[in-house]
């Protein structure tokens, strides 16, 4: 099987005025990402995602990758990173190169699965889980004065038994948000908090201690992603698991997160970290050190599907079948048609269980009419 064509498809969706999505760092209006479509001489079509705006993905792919992709056999996917990082050597392994690589890698795995008639998770090592426990990413900061409880109440009514909320706007606000979330979720649900790197270590520790009574499963990005000494200080001062990884790219960065930052949970985004191949390597590094791996997912439906396949294949621990923690998968609950409208059969997290698609490849059928609706060349 050889790739005969590559198409780069920028997608965007702008939220209505007054409905910006907020975290501790501020508000955003634009959901932007990039799909790629690979055609092959076998008739199969492969889909991948680079979780960066189209103008960045297109420039990177056309500059470094496009010429060599035509004629490439997707079954040689393990050699992709070595093959295609030869030219952009001096551009390093930052977000542009790793995201472009992710898109091609995911599309290759989709093609391999379709060629061999297997879902990707089985090709990645086999059945670890056929069901995942989705957690709702919700309770964003809002521009308008809205009910704090409403998004969590909605998640509970949809059947979620785990949720992650945005905090990081000051300890008093943090405590209020966490208290409301815990009251609505009840005692048995998992509750995670995301500071989006908005604090210094002492601020993060102050909030962590103030919310400790609400049984927090993890604190995400307490300090900025590049602040290695800050992570180390938070780890010394806080007795709650620390998660990070959505702003780290490639296995070398994740090795540092584990060895030097000391995080307890790593969160590679499949459409930024280097794709399924690199995520598997990151998973091996993580589980070797008994660190959990929980993909970050804020992608389109294609990147989400890749995360599902990856999560289904990866073991939590190297040593036991008696698992004290569920295999979690992040499921954003904010308005985003790029997640909810691009598939013929959208992935459904309601009811507290996400069934892993069993069809070949990523297990999805992309609705190309919907793709055109949000295309933004
Ligand atoms: Mg986050």
pLDDT in tens, 334-363: 999 999 999 999 999 999 999 999 999 999
Residue where a domain stops, chosen among 103, 121, 139: 121
Q: Above pLDDT 90, what percent of the chain?
A: 82
CA 330 to chain centre: 7
Q: Above pLDDT 70, what percent of the chain?
A: 96
| 376 domain residue, yes or no | no
pLDDT at position 130: 87
Q: What is the mean pLDDT of residues 100-109?
A: 97
For residue 37, list its beta bridge partners.
7, 47
| 151 domain residue, yes or no | yes
| 161 domain residue, yes or no | yes
pLDDT category of residue 293 using cuts at 50, 70 and 90 = very high
294-307 pLDDT per residue, tens: 999 999 999 999 99
CATH number, domain of 165, equals 3.20.20.120
Domain match, 89 and 223 both: no
Helix, strand or coil, per DSSP, at residue 119: strand
Domain match, 317 and 270 both: yes
Q: Which residues surround ligand 1, an ion (CB under 5 A)?
A: 194, 220
pLDDT category of residue 88 using cuts at 50, 70 and 90 = low
Query: 117 C-alpha vs ligand 1 centroid, how far in Å?
Result: 34
Query: 41 C-alpha vs ligand 1 centroid, how far in Å?
Result: 40
CB 244 within 8 A of CB 225: yes
Residue where a domain stops, chosen among 121, 146, 171: 121
Domain match, 142 and 110 both: no
Query: 49 C-alpha vs ligand 1 centroid, how far in Å?
Result: 19
d(CA 216, CA 135): 14
CB 10 within 8 A of CB 32: yes
Domain match, 173 and 285 both: yes
| 141 domain residue, yes or no | yes
Query: 4 C-alpha vs ligand 1 centroid, how far in Å?
Result: 37
| 28 domain residue, yes or no | yes
d(CA 175, CA 177): 6
Active site amino acids:
296
pLDDT beyond 80 at 241 = yes
Domain match, 115 and 202 both: no
pLDDT beyond 70 at 85 = no
Residue where a domain stops, chosen among 92, 121, 150: 121
Domain count for the chain = 2
Strands (E), the chain: 3-14, 21-23, 26-28, 30-40, 45-50, 131-138, 162-166, 190-194, 219-220, 242-244, 265-266, 292-293, 328-332, 354-355
Domain limits for position 13? 3-121
Q: Taking the model in full, what pTM does it have?
A: 0.96
pLDDT at position 323: 67
Residue showing tokens 């705006």: 53
pLDDT at position 320: 62
pLDDT at position 317: 66
pLDDT beyond 70 at 318 = no
Q: Which of 17-26, 36-45, 113-122, 193-202 has the least mean pLDDT?
A: 17-26
Domain match, 180 and 36 both: no
| 221 domain residue, yes or no | yes
Domain match, 21 and 35 both: yes
pLDDT beyond 70 at 326 = yes
Q: What is the mean pLDDT of residues 312-329?
A: 76
Domain match, 28 and 138 both: no
Domain match, 133 and 107 both: no
pLDDT beyond 90 at 49 = yes
Domain match, 141 and 189 both: yes
CATH number, domain of 90, equals 3.30.390.10
Query: 107 C-alpha vs ligand 1 centroid, how far in Å?
Result: 25
| 377 domain residue, yes or no | no
Domain match, 226 and 338 both: yes
Task: List helix spans (H) across 200-300.
Answer: 201-210, 228-237, 251-256, 275-288
Query: 327 C-alpha vs ligand 1 centroid, how far in Å?
Result: 18
Domain match, 115 and 200 both: no
pLDDT at position 94: 84
Query: 34 C-alpha vs ligand 1 centroid, how far in Å?
Result: 20
| 375 domain residue, yes or no | no
């Amino acid at each position: 099987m050889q790739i005969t064509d590559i198409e780069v498809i920028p997608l965007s969706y702008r939220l209505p005025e007054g409905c910006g999505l907020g975290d501790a760092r501020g508000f955003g209006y634009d959901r932007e990402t990039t799909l790629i479509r690979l055609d092959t001489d076998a008739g199969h079509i492969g889909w991948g995602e680079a979780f960066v705006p189209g103008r960045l993905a297109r420039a990177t792919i056309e500059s470094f990758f496009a010429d060599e992709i035509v004629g490439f056999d997707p079954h040689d996917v393990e050699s992709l990173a070595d093959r295609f990082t030869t030219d952009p050597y001096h551009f390093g392994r930052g977000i542009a190169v790793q995201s472009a690589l992710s898109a091609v890698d995911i599309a290759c795995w989709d093609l391999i699965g379709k060629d061999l008639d297997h879902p990707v998770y089985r090709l990645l090592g086999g059945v670890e889980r056929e069901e995942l426990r989705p957690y709702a990413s919700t309770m964003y900061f809002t521009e308008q004065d809205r009910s704090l409880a409403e998004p969590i109440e909605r998640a509970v009514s949809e059947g979620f038994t785990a949720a992650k909320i945005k905090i990081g706007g000051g300890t008093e606000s943090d405590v209020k948000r966490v208290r409301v979330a815990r009251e609505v979720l009840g005692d048995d649900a998992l509750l995670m908090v995301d500071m989006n790197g908005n604090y210094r270590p002492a601020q993060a520790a102050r909030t962590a201690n103030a919310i400790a009574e609400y049984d927090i499963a993890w604190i995400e990005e307490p300090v900025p992603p590049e602040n290695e000494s800050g992570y180390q200080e938070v780890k010394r001062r806080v007795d709650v698991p620390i998660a990070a990884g959505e702003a780290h790219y490639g296995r070398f960065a994740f090795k540092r997160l584990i060895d030097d930052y000391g995080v307890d949970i790593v969160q590679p985004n499949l459409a930024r970290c280097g794709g399924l191949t690199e995520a598997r390597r990151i998973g091996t590094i993580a589980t070797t050190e008994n660190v959990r791996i929980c993909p970050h997912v804020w992608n389109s439906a294609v990147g989400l599907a890749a995360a599902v396949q990856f999560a289904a294949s990866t073991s939590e621990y190297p040593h036991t079948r008696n698992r004290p923690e569920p295999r979690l998968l992040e499921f954003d609950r904010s308005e985003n048609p790029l997640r909810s409208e691009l598939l013929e059969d959208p992935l459904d997290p309601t009811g507290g269980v996400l069934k892993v698609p069993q069809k070949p490849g990523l297990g999805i059928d992309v609705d190309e009419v919907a793709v055109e609706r949000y295309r933004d060349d």
